[in-house]
């Protein structure tokens, strides 16, 4: 073989290796994105649920000191995430901005009442818990009524459960597709070496001797591809933390460690198994079928 032929063969080998690694990396990147969503599903559902709340409407004759005392009592409860005291004036201003008209000047007085806006912790954001909390608050003589959208609470909880089931099903489907894609990529790489495998077998090489280089190379490809996928995921996570600071937190090291470790292990595991079975196939295949 001439030097030019050797250089051409090396270029093809290098190109094949790079193509294989990039293909695996892209598949692992998609799986990593899915894993990122799954790991943040609870945080996302908690974020949605914790925006559910109700309004504690106070009576007209209640002094501000009484309202602040009730607010402090509410804050001490384990089911409360946050509270906000809304004065009559503040309520009128917000309603006026929403309405686009000065209704106070029109009717001559402010009909709105002071209130306390309560946000729940995620585990209490369901109709059963809210009904019990509502009954408890209504025992306070300074409270006129407690208002919340029961249908909205029910719809949010129902949709969160439904999205969780759909996400799990989609994740399983994507994992199967990813395994298939990586397996085909590795099999094509091994296919190009099928005659070398046959030659090694004919000279008496053992199965372990033949398969070891391919398996090691497959594992290395999986590892390198996983590192590339992690770099891409890092870029996505960085920008997501800017756009969704309440959901994606860069300081949450444990979640990202689990995600990155999972991508590396999955990449190495799939490429190892794919290489193992692909080499095994071409060791056992009949000579006349090597040409198909």
Residue 135, CA distances (Å) to 60, 119, 151, 242, 252 in order: 20, 16, 18, 40, 38
For residue 95, is it within any domain? yes
Residue where one domain finishes, among candidates 147, 180, 203? 147
For residue 260, is it within any domain? yes
Range of the domain at 92: 53-147
pLDDT over 50 (residue 138):
yes
Q: What is the pLDDT of residues 21-74, one digit of tens each?
A: 888 888 888 888 888 877 777 777 777 787 777 888 888 788 888 888 888 988
CATH number at residue 70: 3.30.70.3040
130 and 167 part of one domain: no
For residue 152, is it within any domain? no
Given a contact cutoff of 8 angstroms between Cβ atoms, the answer to whether 48 and 156 are in contact is yes
Q: What is the pLDDT of residue 171?
A: 76
For residue 41, is it within any domain? yes
pLDDT over 80 (residue 278):
no
37 and 108 part of one domain: no
Q: What is the pLDDT of residue 231?
A: 92
3-state secondary structure of 114: coil
176 and 214 part of one domain: yes
238 and 170 part of one domain: yes
Q: What is the pLDDT of residues 79-88, one digit of tens each?
A: 888 898 888 8
162 and 275 part of one domain: yes
182 and 271 part of one domain: yes
For residue 96, is it within any domain? yes
CA 278 to chain centre: 33
For residue 249, is it within any domain? yes
Residue where one domain finishes, among candidates 102, 117, 147? 147
210 and 164 part of one domain: yes
Q: What is the pLDDT of residues 153-186, one digit of tens each?
A: 778 778 877 877 887 787 788 778 877 877 777 7
Q: What is the pLDDT of residue 289?
A: 59
For residue 68, is it within any domain? yes
Report d(CA 174, CA 37) in Å as an integer.
Answer: 13
112 and 129 part of one domain: yes
Q: What is the pLDDT of residues 240-273, one digit of tens each?
A: 777 766 666 666 777 888 888 989 998 888 888 8
Q: Where is pLDDT greater, at 112 or 5?
A: 112
Mean pLDDT in the chain? Answer: 78
E strand or H helix at 116: strand 115-120
99 and 169 part of one domain: no
Given a contact cutoff of 8 angstroms between Cβ atoms, the answer to whether 122 and 49 are in contact is yes
For residue 275, is it within any domain? yes
Residue where one domain finishes, among candidates 102, 120, 147? 147
Average pLDDT over residues 82-106: 78
Q: What percent of the chain has pLDDT over 70?
A: 84
207 and 88 part of one domain: no
168 and 252 part of one domain: yes
**pTM (predicted TM-score):** 0.61
Q: What is the pLDDT of residue 175?
A: 78
Q: Where is pLDDT greater, at 1 or 137?
A: 137
- Domains of the chain: total: 2
Q: Where is pLDDT greater, at 281 or 216?
A: 216
40 and 59 part of one domain: no
Report d(CA 207, CA 283) in Å as an integer.
Answer: 8
Q: What percent of the chain has pLDDT over 90?
A: 3
Q: What is the pLDDT of residue 20?
A: 76
pLDDT over 60 (residue 292):
no
Given a contact cutoff of 8 angstroms between Cβ atoms, the answer to whether 142 and 70 are in contact is yes
Name the DSSP letter for residue 101: S
Which of the residue ranges 150-154, 224-228, 263-267, 280-284 would you say has the lowest mean pLDDT? 280-284
């Amino acid at each position: 073989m001439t030097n030019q032929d050797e250089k051409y063969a090396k270029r093809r080998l290098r190109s094949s290796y790079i193509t294989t690694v990039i293909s695996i990396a892209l598949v692992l990147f998609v799986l990593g994105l899915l894993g990122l969503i799954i790991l943040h599903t609870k945080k996302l559902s908690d974020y949605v649920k914790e925006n559910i709340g109700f309004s504690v409407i106070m009576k007209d004759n209640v002094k501000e000191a009484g309202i602040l005392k009730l607010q402090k009592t509410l804050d001490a409860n384990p089911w409360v995430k946050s509270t906000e005291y809304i004065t009559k004036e503040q309520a009128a201003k917000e309603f006026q901005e929403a309405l686009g008209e000065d209704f106070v000047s029109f009717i001559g007085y402010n009909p709105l009442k002071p209130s306390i806006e309560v946000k729940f912790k995620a585990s209490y954001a369901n109709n059963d818990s809210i009904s019990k909390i509502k009954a408890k608050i209504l025992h306070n003589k300074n409270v006129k009524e407690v208002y919340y959208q029961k249908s909205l609470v029910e719809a949010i909880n129902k949709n969160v459960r439904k999205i969780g089931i759909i996400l799990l099903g989609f994740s399983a489907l994507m994992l199967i597709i990813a395994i298939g894609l990586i397996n085909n990529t590795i099999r094509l790489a091994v296919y190009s070496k099928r005659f070398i495998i046959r030659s090694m077998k004919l000279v008496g090489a053992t199965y372990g001797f033949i398969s070891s280089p391919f398996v090691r190379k497959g594992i290395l490809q999986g590892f390198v591809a996983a590192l590339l996928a992690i770099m891409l995921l890092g870029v996505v996570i960085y920008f997501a933390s800017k756009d969704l600071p309440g959901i994606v937190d860069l300081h949450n090291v444990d979640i990202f460690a689990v995600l990155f470790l999972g991508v590396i292990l999955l990449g190495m595991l799939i490429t190892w198994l794919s290489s193992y079975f692909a080499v095994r196939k071409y060791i056992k295949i009949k000579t006349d079928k090597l040409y198909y």
